[in-house]
Structures are given as structure tokens and as C-alpha cells.
């Protein structure tokens, strides 16, 4: 809210003359403060205090209704920004982030310089941030909230947390209160207490948190986004704003990816470009390929189509300072011998068309019917994105399955209605085809008919009492052919069967 009122760099320029700023929300059937800024905290306001009491202390209070969804989006935006340091970023609670910087700190000269760079940049973006680096997530969490910014060495990992309050163990509030009533107010008190009575009284959580803090038990970090299989990054001296320059840089980064993919005998199926804007905004642009791909020109073409679709949404602002190209999914792609003009013996025209169409119009723009293991007509096929079902025929892979090897299929209409429509029909014989039927307010007289083709329903889906269907192919006086079915049979003392229209042949 302060960034919106006074600009992103308001902390560097100084806070303008403005009343204390707080957030409010309904808690326990009363309007209470959910967050306060630094000025509000200095005059005695705190979270959980009633709004009426806060206004009595400061009548000029600027109270804004809390928006948890907006807070979450803002925290996710900060986590995207932290991807410049490590791809392993996890959200912790409502106001924290975990960054696994294993193997990344040397890129900025060490852990201390990395932490200083993070805190300095976020301060310049108008944020008040605390951070710590240690060997365990639990110790970093506690130090950032109850200690001071900095790096905890292995030698200090056991002595520093002893002075922290019990709340630094990330325990529920009721457990913290119960431990304090027993006189265990600090982590040092908890370490000196016998473990068995603590486990019997409070369960295993306090001891597990202690073990995680001191590294006796592992605590994995679950990153909010999948880690890329391969990644190439470029940090630019001058920010880029032109889309053409961005595409040229993507193609050059794809050349580096090609060498790595060839060494692994793989090709990428899903690619992603991260654009880090100067003001901290991060754009993620993803594309997919119907076949494994490592050609830099084709990769750049996919992102070109995607940028055309996102032209109005991609705000370059003051430019992008970091570009990263990720391979999110890769599959086996054997090397193939090229001919004299440098092209491989694989037909890729259809794959190129599918990839470009999907990149511009989305994955659902092209669909392909796929047979399913069901004899019920509306369940016998399913429309799936064609990019997931592409087959490239090559001399190594052989030809597709010929039609002679496929099972014989019964005749089905050209157009199958998604939901059968009920009709009014009149039949001469109880098991025969209808003489006439009324569909969509039009009367049709049947000239020819074939059938019935009896199909029993799937009892494991429709139930054992589901009536069978008797299908007929009929032709009316105008030469139009339809596919009808009768649900049920003409039996005395039983409800009359119903007729349905299910498809049109021509």
C-alpha cells in the first residue's frame, strides 16, 4: 500500500507526511487491526487490537480493509523476483520465503554479499525485509524474526538460538502459551529440559522442531515451481525493451541449450522464458512443442508467436535486465543423420504448424479424437489437445498402424450429438423401426430403416438397472439419414420406452 501511495522507492526518499497506516479485518466478531506500519507501531498500535481502541489513540488513523488474496499475490511476486538468486524458492506462511542457495552463493561473492544484495535491492523497492542464512531452514527462520540480519556460521549454530523465545520454534500459539506457563520461555530452557516428559505432555512437534533447527533432522524445502532440467541465463549491462532484441537473445541462448541437449540425446518439450524487469516485475512466458525439439530457430519462432499473442500484456517498462531460458520438460531425441542440404529425414511440417498455432492461440485451439475403451457411442472417443498426440513418421520409427490391422468398427454417423435429444416417434412393431418421428418441431416420415443394433449400457458406470439401447439407421422422404435409438422396450404394465436422436449421417 505504501508503494502504491508514495512510489516503490519511498524508503530511500523518506516517508511523506501521512497518518499512520493500518489494515483491518473482522476477527472474533469485531473489527481489529491485522497489520500496522512503523509509525503506527511507535504510538502503541499492534495487530489484534480493536479498531475502535486504535482510533481513540490516533483519530487520524488511515485504516484500509485487509485483502489476503492481494497479500498472497504480492508475496508470490517477491518469490518470482527471488528466482534471480536461486530456482528453489518456497513460500513460508503469510510473510516469509525460504531460499535454498546451495551452490548459488559464489555467483555473488559469497553468502554474506548475497544476503546484503537481496536486502539492499528489496529496501530500494520500498520493502522492509529481514533475512538470515544458516545451515537449516528452522534456524534461518528464527534468526530472521528474533535475531539480526546476517549469516550464522556452523560454530554459532548451537549457541545463538538459545536466547531466542519459544515462539522461534514455529509452534502453535497454544503450545507456546503452555510451555511458558511451565517456565520454559526460551529455547535454552527447552534444550535443558528432559525430552521424554516433554514428548508425553506436548507431543513430538516441539522436539521435532528443535531437531530440525539444529540439523539433527532433515527439513526439505518444497519450491513453489518445478525446477528446470536445463537453464541458460543472461545478465545484461543495458536493459532490453525491444521484442526483436529479446527474440534474438532467446535464439542465442537456445544455441547453448542445443549443445547441452545433444550431449544428453534429448529434446525439449516445454520451454519457459523468465523476463526480470528493472523494477522487480517478473514475466513468465511458456511454450510447448508437440515433438522433442532443440533447433534454436524453431524455439525462437515459438516464443515469437507467443509474444504476438501477449503483445498487450507484456509491459516492458524500463526494460528487462535478466533473461533466463528454461527447459521444463525434455524427452529422448536421438541424433539423426542430415542430408546434403543439412536437413534431417523427418517430416516436421505438421509439427511446426501445430506448435505455432498452439503458441499463439493456446493449447485448446486444436483437438484430435482419440478412441477410448467403451462401446457406448458418446464415450467411445475423447477430444484431446493435438500437441500431446503428435506422431512424426520417420524411417527409424516405421509407419503408423495400417487400417487393415485395426478392429472392424460399426458404422457411425458423421455428426454425433454430444447429448442425445429426445424425440417423438411412432412404430408399427414393438421391436421395429419408427414409421415417423418429430425432432426439433419438424415431422420426418421414414422411408427406409436398418436395425436394430442393440447396445447394453456399462453397468459399472450407469448401474445395473440402466435400460439397453436399440439403434436404427433411418432415411426420411428427403433422403436425410439419421441415427436413432429406443431406450427400453414395449412391455405391458411398464413405462413406455423413449426415443432419442443421437446423430446425423448426411
Q: Which tens digit of pLDDT belongs to each residue from 195-241?
A: 999 999 999 999 999 999 998 999 888 899 988 999 999 999 999 98
pLDDT value at residue 337: 61
| Cis peptide bond N-terminal to 203, omega within 30 | no
pLDDT band per the 50, 70, 90 thresholds, residue 345: very low
Q: Is the pLDDT of residue 343 over 60?
A: no
C-alpha to C-alpha distance for 190 and 175, rounded to whole angstroms: 13
pLDDT averaged over the chain? 87
Residue 34 vs residues 20, 173, 406, 484: alpha-carbon distances, Å:
14, 17, 66, 64
Q: What is the pLDDT of residue 388?
A: 67
Note the pLDDT tens digit of each residue in 402-452: 444 444 466 888 899 989 999 999 888 888 899 999 999 999 999 999 989
Give the pLDDT of residue 469.
Answer: 92
168: pLDDT strictly greater than 60: yes
**Confidence band, pLDDT 50/70/90 cuts, at residue 394:** very low
Strands across the sheet containing 62-65:
30-36, 21-27, 62-65
The SS3 assignment for 44 reads coil
Query: How does residue 500 score in pLDDT terms, banded at 50, 70 and 90?
Result: very high
DSSP letter assigned to residue 492: T
Amino acid at each position: 500500500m505504501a508503494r502504491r501511495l508514495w512510489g516503490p522507492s519511498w524508503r530511500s526518499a523518506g516517508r511523506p507526511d501521512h497518518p499512520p497506516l493500518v489494515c483491518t479485518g473482522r476477527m472474533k466478531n469485531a473489527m481489529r487491526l491485522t497489520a500496522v506500519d512503523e509509525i503506527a507501531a511507535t504510538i502503541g498500535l499492534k495487530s489484534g487490537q480493536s479498531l475502535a481502541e486504535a482510533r481513540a489513540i490516533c483519530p487520524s488513523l488511515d485504516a484500509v480493509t485487509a485483502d489476503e488474496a492481494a497479500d498472497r499475490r504480492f508475496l508470490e511476486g517477491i518469490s518470482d523476483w527471488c528466482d534471480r538468486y536461486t530456482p528453489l524458492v518456497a513460500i513460508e506462511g503469510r510473510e516469509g520465503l525460504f531460499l535454498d542457495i546451495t551452490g548459488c552463493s559464489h555467483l555473488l561473492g559469497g553468502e554474506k554479499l548475497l544476503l546484503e544484495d537481496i536486502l539492499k535491492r528489496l529496501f530500494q523497492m520500498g520493502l522492509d525485509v529481514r533475512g538470515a542464512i544458516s545451515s537449516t531452514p528452522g534456524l534461518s527462520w528464527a534468526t530472521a524474526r528474533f535475531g539480526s540480519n546476517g549469516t550464522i556460521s556452523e560454530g554459532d549454530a548451537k549457541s545463538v538460538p538459545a536466547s531466542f523465545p519459544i515462539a522461534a520454534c514455529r509452534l502453535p500459539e497454544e503450545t507456546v502459551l503452555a510451555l511458558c506457563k511451565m517456565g520454559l520461555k526460551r529455547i535454552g530452557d527447552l534444550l535443558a529440559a528432559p525430552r521424554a516428559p516433554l514428548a508425553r505432555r506436548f507431543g513430538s512437534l516441539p522436539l521435532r522442531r528443535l531437531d530440525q533447527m539444529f540439523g539433527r533432522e532433515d527439513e526439505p524445502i518444497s519450491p513453489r515451481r518445478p525446477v528446470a532440467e536445463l537453464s541458460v541465463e543472461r545478465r545484461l549491462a543495458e536493459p532490453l525493451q525491444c521484442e526483436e532484441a529479446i527474440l534474438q537473445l532467446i535464439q542465442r541462448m537456445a544455441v547453448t541449450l542445443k549443445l547441452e541437449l545433444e550431449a544428453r540425446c534429448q529434446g525439449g518439450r516445454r520451454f519457459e522464458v523468465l523476463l526480470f524487469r528493472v523494477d522487480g516485475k517478473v514475466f513468465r512466458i511458456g511454450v510447448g512443442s508437440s515433438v522433442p525439439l532443440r533447433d534454436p530457430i524453431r524455439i525462437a519462432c515459438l516464443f515469437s508467436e507467443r509474444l504476438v499473442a501477449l503483445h498487450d500484456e507484456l509491459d516492458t517498462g524500463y526494460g528487462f535486465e535478466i533473461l533466463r531460458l528454461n527447459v521444463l520438460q525434455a524427452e529422448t531425441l536421438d541424433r539423426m543423420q542430415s542430408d546434403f542440404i543439412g536437413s534431417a529425414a523427418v517430416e516436421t511440417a505438421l509439427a511446426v504448424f501445430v506448435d505455432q498455432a498452439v503458441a499463439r492461440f493456446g493449447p485448446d485451439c486444436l483437438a484430435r479424437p482419440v478412441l477410448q475403451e467403451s462401446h457406448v457411442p458418446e464415450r467411445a472417443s475423447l477430444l484431446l489437445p493435438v500437441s500431446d498426440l503428435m506422431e512424426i513418421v520417420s524411417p527409424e520409427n516405421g509407419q503408423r498402424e495400417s487400417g487393415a490391422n485395426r478392429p472392424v468398427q460399426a458404422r457411425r454417423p458423421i455428426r454425433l450429438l454430444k447429448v442425445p435429444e429426445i424425440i417423438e416417434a411412432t412404430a408399427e412393431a414393438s421391436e421395429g423401426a419408427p414409421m415417423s418421428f418429430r425432432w426439433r418441431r419438424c415431422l420426418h416420415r421414414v422411408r427406409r430403416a436398418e436395425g436394430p443394433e442393440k447396445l447394453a449400457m456399462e453397468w459399472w458406470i450407469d448401474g445395473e438397472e440402466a435400460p439397453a439401447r436399440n439403434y436404427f439407421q433411418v432415411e426420411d422422404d428427403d433422403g436425410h439419414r439419421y441415427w436413432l435409438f429406443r431406450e427400453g422396450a414395449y412391455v405391458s404394465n411398464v413405462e413406455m420406452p423413449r426415443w432419442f436422436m443421437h446423430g446425423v449421417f448426411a
